[in-house]
Structure formats: structure tokens, C-alpha cells
């Protein structure tokens, strides 16, 4: 299933990815810090929702109460719940 998540509180505007059996592939961020987000996308490729959430949830960016990695953790969990 292809999923699009609209980010809140970050420079990136949205995250798109594929989810199959709770495995995440093809992560693409719209906006944000291009190089960093490409790196994060490569690091989470083929990981499960639980692995991504455990690693990235709660990561903060400066004074914000979220970050692009935190938004990705939220996005994959939301997609997983919607897929059940």
C-alpha cells in the first residue's frame, strides 16, 4: 500500500512511502533538509514499523517538539494502523 502523511511542525511538508506487512520501503520526504532526509530514507529502507518507531520516535529538532524523523515514526505507525 502506498501512503502519504502530511507533516506537522517540521520543515518537511509530507512523507510518502510503501508499506507491506509492516515493512517500509520507498520513503520520500517533500521539503526539509534534502541530504539528511535522503540518508534517513536509506537507513529505514526495509525496516519494520516497530523498528522505525523504536529508533526515531521522540527525536526532537532544536526547540520544536517534533522532527522529521519523529514525523516518520508517527507516519509509519499511522499507516500500519490504517492497514489493519
Domains of the chain, residue spans: 2-82
Confidence class for position 84, pLDDT limits 50, 70, 90: confident
Q: Which residues contact 39 (CB under 8 A, 6 or more apart)?
A: none
* HEC sequence for the chain: CEEEEECCCCCEEEEEEEEECCEEEEEEEEECCHHHHHHHHHHHCCCEHHHHHHHHCCCCCCCCCCCHHHHHHHHHHHHHHHCC
Average pLDDT over residues 70-80: 98
Confidence class for position 83, pLDDT limits 50, 70, 90: confident
User: Taking all residues of the chain, what is their mean pLDDT, rounded to a whole number?
Assistant: 97
Domain 2-82 has CATH 1.10.8: no
Average pLDDT over residues 64-69: 96
Nearest-10 crossing angle of helices 68-82, 49-56: 150
Average pLDDT over residues 38-58: 98
84 compared with 60, residue with greater pLDDT: 60
Amino acid at each position: 500500500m502506498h501512503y502519504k502523511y502530511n507533516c506537522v511542525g517540521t520543515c518537511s511538508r509530507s512523507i510518502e512511502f510503501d508499506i507491506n506487512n509492516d515493512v517500509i520501503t520507498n520513503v520520500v520526504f517533500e521539503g526539509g533538509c534534502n541530504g539528511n532526509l535522503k540518508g534517513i530514507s536509506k537507513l529505514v529502507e526495509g525496516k519494520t514499523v516497530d523498528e522505525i518507531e523504536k529508533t526515531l520516535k521522540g527525536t526532537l529538532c532544536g526547540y520544536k517538539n517534533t522532527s522529521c524523523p519523529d514525523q516518520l515514526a508517527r507516519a509509519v505507525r499511522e499507516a500500519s494502523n490504517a492497514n489493519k
